[in-house]
Structures are given as C-alpha cells and as structure tokens.
Amino acid sequence: MTTTTSDSSTTETEDRLAILELIGRLSLTIDSKDWDAMGHLFTDTVYHDRTSLTGGEPYTAPVAQFVEGWRQTLQNMDAVHHQITNHVVSLNGDQATCAANMMGTHVLANASGGPMWTVGGRHDYQLTRTPDGWRIAGLTFTLQWATGNMNVLTLAMAAGQS
C-alpha cells in the first residue's frame, strides 16, 4: 500500500527510497572521506550517541563540529569501509526513523599491532524532511561486537596531530 505524507505529491515509497539513498550516501562519503559532502547529509544540528563504543555522553552539535569529529577520527586511516544493511524505516509525516545493521572496518598499517579494527552493531537514525529533502538529525550506534586492533583509531588521530 502506498500512502501520501504531509507533502501530497510525495509517496511513502518515494520517501523510503530517499531515506535509503541518504543513508547509503552517508556510508560512501565516510569511506571516501568526503567531509564536505558528508555535511550536506545532516540537519544544522546533529544528535550523536556512540556511548556504547566510546563511553562518555551523547551530544548534540552543529553539523560542522559533528563532521569535524569524524574527519579527525578517520582522515588518516589507510582505508575505511562501512556497510549499512537491513534498513527498517518508519515514517511519521516529516519525521522518520530508520534502524539498520552496521559494520565498519578501519585499516591503518602500524608498528603497534594488527592493521585492522572492525566493529558491528546497530544504527538508529532520526530523520527530518527539510526543503532540501530528507536529512539525518540524529544517529545512535549500539556496539554489538568488535574484533582486531582498536588502537588504530588512536594512532590515526595522533598522526593527524603531528
């Protein structure tokens, strides 16, 4: 069944496809380290919760600060590869959520252990329809497993500061 959302010219199917493409673009922009393009995928402020991975507290930040955090963490990696699968989208007018599985592999040749760290878990997205289309307003990552050398993140960030 196809229903219309608050924009009577947009069908539920079109909204779902737009959200799936948006989340796919997120994975591709992270992996290509295209930080400028990444900023266009989000609302002006972004809620972010990675506490299951890094500890601390969830936070809300301006999109530029949010993207800069990703850049600082991943820019100096030799390679990153993220897969986001099994999307379940729930629409509510101009708001939506999407739950999906995520696996991220991080690669950095180093003298302090193995070159790879891979994490798997769940992404929960909060999405908002804007005049420019759907954007990600929030992202929660819930870690389910990890394997390899977690220190590659710290080593890559340190390389960016030298």
Residue 151 has pLDDT above 50, yes or no: yes
For the chain, the average pLDDT equals 93
150 contacts 131 by C-beta, under 8 angstroms: no
Mean pLDDT confidence for 29-41:
97
Residue 162 has pLDDT above 60, yes or no: no
Q: What is the pLDDT of residue 64?
A: 98
Residue 56 CA to its chain's centroid (Å): 18
Q: What is the pLDDT of residue 160?
A: 77
Distance CA 36, CA 105 (A): 22
- Determine, yes or no, domain membership for 29: yes
Q: What letters, b where the CB count within 10 A reaches 16 and e where it falls short, cover 95-132?
A: ebebebebebbbbbeeeeeebbbebebebebbbebeee
Q: What is the pLDDT of residue 159?
A: 86
Q: Specify the number of domains making up the chain.
A: 1
- Determine, yes or no, domain membership for 83: yes
pTM comes to: 0.90
Chain segment 106-121, per-residue pLDDT in tens: 999 998 899 999 999 9
Distance CA 22, CA 24 (A): 5
Structure confidence at residue 36 as a pLDDT band (50, 70, 90):
very high
At residue 56, φ and ψ (nearest 5 deg) are 75, -155
DSSP per residue over 55-74, as a string? -S--EEEEHHHHHHHHHHHH
- Burial, 145: exposed, middle or buried (Cβ in 10 Å; 0-12, 13-18, 19+)? exposed
Q: What is the pLDDT of residue 161?
A: 67
- Determine, yes or no, domain membership for 19: yes
Cα dist from 20 to 68, 142, 146, whole Å? 24, 20, 25
- Determine, yes or no, domain membership for 7: no
Distance CA 118, CA 147 (A): 5
- Determine, yes or no, domain membership for 2: no
In terms of residue numbers, what domain contains 135? Answer: 12-161
Residue with the bigger pLDDT between 126 and 157: it is: 126
- Determine, yes or no, domain membership for 68: yes
Residue with the bigger pLDDT between 111 and 20: it is: 20
The domain that holds 57 is classified in CATH as 3.10.450.50
- Determine, yes or no, domain membership for 59: yes
Q: Is 91 helix (H, G, I), strand (E, B) or coil?
A: strand
Chain segment 118-140, per-residue pLDDT in tens: 999 999 999 999 999 999 999 99
Q: What is the DSSP letter of 108?
A: -
Q: What is the pLDDT of residue 13?
A: 95
